[in-house]
Amino acid sequence: MKLKKGDNIIVKSGKDRGKKGKIVRVLPDKNKIVVEGVNLVKRNSKPRRQGEKGQRVTVTAPFNLSNARLLCPKCNQVTRVGFRLTPQGKKRVCKKCKAEV
C-alpha cells in the first residue's frame, strides 16, 4: 500500500472532492483509508442507561484508497508515489520532484 498513516492527502472524487486531510487509519485488507474531516457520516446511538436519550453522532467513515492522492511535503503538489532502493531499504519518493516522502 503506497499511502500510510500520517500522510497528507487530497480527495480526487466523490462528495468531498478537493478536501485535504491527514490519514488517521489505513485498512489494507479492504483497500480503504480514514481521513480526518472527510466522509463524515451521521450514526444513531442508543441510550446506554435508563432515562438517557439516544443521539446522532458524526463519525468519519472509510473510503476507497483510489479516491485519494498524496500531497508532497516538499513541492506541495498532488502526486503519485514511487519507490527507490537504497542501502537502508525501500524508500517512498514523489514522482514529480523525486524527494523522499
User: Tens digit of pLDDT for each residue in 64-81?
Assistant: 999 999 999 999 999 999
Q: Answer whether residue 7 shows pLDDT above 90.
A: yes
What pLDDT does residue 56 have?
96
Domain 8-75, CATH: 2.30.30.30
**Closest by Cα among 23, 80, 88, 35 to 101:** 80
State the Cα–Cα distance between residues 23 and 65, nearest whole angstrom. 11
Question: Both ends of the chain: CA-CA distance in Å?
Answer: 14
Q: Is the pLDDT of residue 1 over 90?
A: no
Give residue-wise pLDDT tens across range 25-75.
999 999 999 999 999 999 999 999 999 999 999 999 999 999 999 999 999
Sign of torsion over alpha carbons 78, 84, 87, 89 = positive
Q: Which residues pair with 20 in a beta bridge?
A: 10
Q: Please give the model's pTM, rounded to 2 decimal places.
A: 0.87
